[in-house]
Structure 1
Amino acid sequence: MLDVTKKLEEQIRALEHELTTELPAEIKRAVALGDLSENAEYHSAKQRQEFVNAHLGQLKKRMAELSLVDLRNIPNDRVGFGSTIVVFDQTKEEELTYKLVTSEESDVTKGLISTTSPIGRALVGKQLGDEVTVVTPNGKRILEILKLYTIHDVAPVVE
Structure 2
Amino acid sequence: MESNVILLTAEGYEELVNELNNLKSVIRKEIAGKIKIALAFGDISENSEYDEAKNEQAHVEKRITKLEMMLKHAKIIEEHKQKGTVGLGAKVIIKDIEFDEVMEYNLVGSAEADPFKGKISNVSPLGKTLMGKKIGDIIEVDSPAGENIKYEILDV
* AA in 2 matched with 1:6: E
Deviations 1:78-111 (A, max 9, x none): 311222334443322x363523243647455x7x
* AA in 2 matched with 1:96: V
TM-score by length of 2: 0.69
The corresponding residue for 1:123 is 130
Q: Which blocks of at least 5 consecutive residues in structure 1 are unaligned? A: 150-159
Instruction: Give the conservation status (yes or no) of the 8 Å contact 1:19–1:53.
Output: no
How many aligned residue pairs are there? Answer: 143
Q: Secondary structure, in 3 states, of the residue corresponding to 1:100?
A: strand
Deviation at 1:52, TM superposition (A): 0.8
The corresponding residue for 1:157 is none
Matched, 1:83 2:90: yes
Cα RMSD (Å): 3.0
The corresponding residue for 1:5 is 13
The corresponding residue for 1:96 is 102
The corresponding residue for 1:56 is 64
Question: 2:94, 2:23 → 1: CA distance?
Answer: 40
The corresponding residue for 2:35 is 27
Instruction: Give the conservation status (yes or no) of the 8 Å contact 1:84–1:97.
Output: no
* AA in 2 matched with 1:29: I
Instruction: Give the conservation status (yes or no) of the 8 Å contact 2:93–2:103.
Output: yes
Q: Secondary structure, in 3 states, of the residue corresponding to 1:145?
A: strand
Q: Secondary structure, in 3 states, of the residue corresponding to 1:82?
A: coil
The corresponding residue for 2:4 is none
Q: Which blocks of at least 5 consecutive residues in structure 2 are unaligned? A: 1-8
The corresponding residue for 2:76 is 69
Instruction: Give the conservation status (yes or no) of the 8 Å contact 2:78–2:89.
Output: no
Question: 2:90, 2:149 → 1: CA distance?
Answer: 20
Residue identity over aligned pairs, in percent, reads: 28
Q: Which moved more, 1:123-132 or 1:40-49?
A: 123-132
Question: 1:86, 1:45 → 2: CA distance?
Answer: 44
* AA in 2 matched with 1:58: K
